[in-house]
């Protein structure tokens, strides 16, 4: 078997992660709306029904509360369920199951019961599917003790984080940005498990730190490349894990660059960017040469028209301008 890197997509890497997990452990199964015959809303599970059958690739009724609850029960019973929710917006229909059951049962049972549940869900905008299918709500879930929240932004992470999540005794929510599914790149067949905690420095720099995650990572990297032509070297940090946050990597980067821009497609008010900004001020205030800056989604429901959808969330050019203003204020 060749170990040379091969061309693939984020979607295919996610599918391969599910397939490998099911081959490795007979307790693993996938359930959700249209994951079987249709192949998944974003075609991630295409072909898996034919390979593994209806016992392990389970199409569910259109009731998030019911099938997320069934996943929690299966996890309590010793299985390793992967529950796919068609859109992060629809996960709100299962909030009681996620927040009041999955996150709390280990604590309320005094550690007698674990809930090794993995939930996957598309998040973010960019596909013109309007306000009920396009929001970035992962920051809400990052508020909840008892949950682990990850947002893989690379081929290696979307393939390698799933198996690590399945081995964790806690419920893990994996947020896959819809704009990443078609992203192409090279992936080694030997790529292994990836931790579901810890940020990664995707581009080193000296003039400012750009902190982001998920679908905003490629935009931040593009902005950093553009800034470099102007003599500004930006360090780009991919959070990868939103709960727990990797304070150590964030603070070390801020200490090096002394300026920070937090880029989050989610809304600004009460959002993840506010939490990161507060932690930086609490832990690294005297390292800063300027106040932390935030670039977030416009506080409106995501519009349908393409030009308005693009204008409602950070783009590479707006990230570049915000970073430049931080380093070279007018």
Among 12, 33, 133, 265, which one carries the catalytic annotation? 133
Asked if 133 is an active-site residue, the reply is yes
Among 12, 16, 33, 64, which one carries the catalytic annotation? 64
Establish how many alpha carbons lie within 13 A of residue 290's alpha carbon, considering only the half-sphere containing its beta carbon. Answer: 17
Backbone angles phi, psi at 212, to 5 degrees: -155, -170
Establish how many alpha carbons lie within 13 A of residue 80's alpha carbon, considering only the half-sphere containing its beta carbon. Answer: 17
- How far is 62 from 304, CA to CA, in rounded Å? 24
Residues known to be catalytic = 64, 133
């Amino acid at each position: 078997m060749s170990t040379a890197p091969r061309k693939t997509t984020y979607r295919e890497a996610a599918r391969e992660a599910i397939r490998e997990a099911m081959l490795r452990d007979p307790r693993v199964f996938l359930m959700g709306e249209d994951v079987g015959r249709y192949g998944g809303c974003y075609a991630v599970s295409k072909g898996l029904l034919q390979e593994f059958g209806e016992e392990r690739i389970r199409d569910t009724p259109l009731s998030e509360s019911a099938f997320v609850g069934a996943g929690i029960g299966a996890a309590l019973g010793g299985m390793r369920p992967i529950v796919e929710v068609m859109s992060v917006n629809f996960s709100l229909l299962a909030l009681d199951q996620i927040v009041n059951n999955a996150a709390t049962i280990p604590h309320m049972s005094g550690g007698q019961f674990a809930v090794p549940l993995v939930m996957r869900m598309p998040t973010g905008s960019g596909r013109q599917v309007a306000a009920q299918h396009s929001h970035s709500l992962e920051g809400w879930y990052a508020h909840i003790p008892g949950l682990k929240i990850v947002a893989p932004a690379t081929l290696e992470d979307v393939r390698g984080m799933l198996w690590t999540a399945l081995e964790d005794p806690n419920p893990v929510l994996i947020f896959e940005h819809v704009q990443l599914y078609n992203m192409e790149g090279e992936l080694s067949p030997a790529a292994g498990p990836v931790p579901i905690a810890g940020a990664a420095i995707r581009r080193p720099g000296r003039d400012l730190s750009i902190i982001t995650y998920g679908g905003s990572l490629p935009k931040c990297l593009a902005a950093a490349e553009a800034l470099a032509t102007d003599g500004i070297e930006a360090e780009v940090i991919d959070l990868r894990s939103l709960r727990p946050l990797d304070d150590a990597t964030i603070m070390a980067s801020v200490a090096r660059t002394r300026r920070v821009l937090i880029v989050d497609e989610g809304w600004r008010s009460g959002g993840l960017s506010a939490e990161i900004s507060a932690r930086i001020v609490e832990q690294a205030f005297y390292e800063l040469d300027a106040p932390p800056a935030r670039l977030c989604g416009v506080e409106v429901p995501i519009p349908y028209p393409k030009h308005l959808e693009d204008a409602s969330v950070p783009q590479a050019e707006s990230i570049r301008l915000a970073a430049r203003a931080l380093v070279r204020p007018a």
